[in-house]
Amino acid sequence: MKIILLGPPGAGKGTQAKSISNRYDIPHISTGDIFRKNISEETPLGVEAKRYIDNGQLVPDSLTIDIVKDRLSDEDCKKGFLLDGFPRTVAQAEALKVFLQNKNEGMDCALLIDVPKDFILDRMTGRRVCLSCGASYHIKFNPSKVEGKCDVCGSDIIQRKDDNEATVKERLQVYDNQTQPLINYYNEEKLLKVVDGTKAINEVFDSVCNILGRDK
């Protein structure tokens, strides 16, 4: 099973990705998580990516595409994978398509988590994340059991530097300009499916399972 999760920042991609990855036993590949790991380890990639991420801009395609191709070449991706936060531009989508075509493969589904703009700011500014395992929480909608600690791995959970109001607004603009066109792109590729992302987290997951099928 090869799945892309689409949707604006704050739609719930990361939250659903954790459940989908468990349920269908496929690796969850989040470009945002990969960049944040590199930033915390101060790798050359992290230093470069940070300049863009802190300003709400996209990391250039030239960097991003190679990272994803590398990751998709790992052994565990043979059984399928779940992409969260990639592709974000038409150039990335095209590169992914060519990469898979060269192996006689293709994506199975691009799943849009549809959430209107007026939900986003609350979701983003209340978000707390675990930098160790990537789990995502919300101070109101999905609090961790122990305040400040990740339910999954017990590490500290923090507010992302780019989850402030000004940067969120910038990211939404970037989404409209560069990522939204992918909805039409995947519709034309006959891969697009849509779920209503305004429902509760477990209800959204139920809709996702209806689309992906009940079997593994």
Binding site for ligand ADP (CB under 6 A): 7, 9-15, 31-32, 35, 52-53, 56-59, 64, 85-86, 88, 92, 123, 126-127, 136-138, 141-142, 171, 197, 199-201, 204
Residue 74, CA distances (Å) to 78, 79, 178, 215, 216 in order: 8, 11, 28, 24, 21
152 binds Zn ion (CB under 5 A): yes
Quote the least distance from Cβ 210 to ligand ADP, whole Å.
16
Which residue from 90, 121, 133, 183 is in contact with Zn ion, where contact means CB under 5 A? 133
Catalytic residue among 88, 123, 128, 193: 88
Binding part of the chain for Zn ion, among 62-70, 74-82, 100-108, 135-143 by CB under 5 A, reads 135-143
Q: Based on CB atoms, which residue is closest to ligand ADP, 171 or 193? A: 171
Binder of residue 130, out of Zn ion, ligand ADP, none (CB less than 5 to 8 A by kind):
Zn ion
Cα–chain-centroid distance for residue 86?
7
Structure tokens at 213: 């099928």
Active site residue 214: no
CA distance 113 to 208: 9
Backbone angles phi, psi at 210, to 5 degrees: -60, -35
CA angle 63, 78, 14 (to 5 degrees): 60
